[in-house]
Amino acid sequence: MHIPPYYKKKSVQRFLVGAFAGAVIAYFIFIYMHGSMYGQLLEENRALKSEVNELKNQNEALLKDNENLDEKSKEPIKVETIDITIKNEEDLSDSLIIHDLEELIKEEIIHIVGKDVSIISESDGLLKATIENKDFTVDDFTYQFTVDTLIIHHTVKVAVEAEIGE
Contacts of 155 (CB under 8 A, 6+ apart): 79, 80, 81, 82, 83
Minimal CA–CA distance to 89: which of 128, 143, 53, 36?
A: 143
Q: What is the pTM of this model?
A: 0.62
What's the average model confidence in pLDDT over 61-72?
71
pLDDT at 1 over 70: no
- For residue 89, the 8-state DSSP code is G
* 51 vs 62, more confident: 51
Query: Which helix (H) or strand (E) element contains residue 91?
Result: none
Buried b vs exposed e over 65-103: b needs ≥16 C-beta within 10 Å?
eeeeeeeeeeeeebbbebebebeeeeebeeebbbbbbbb
CB–CB of 115/79 below 8 Å? yes
What's the average model confidence in pLDDT over 20-39?
96
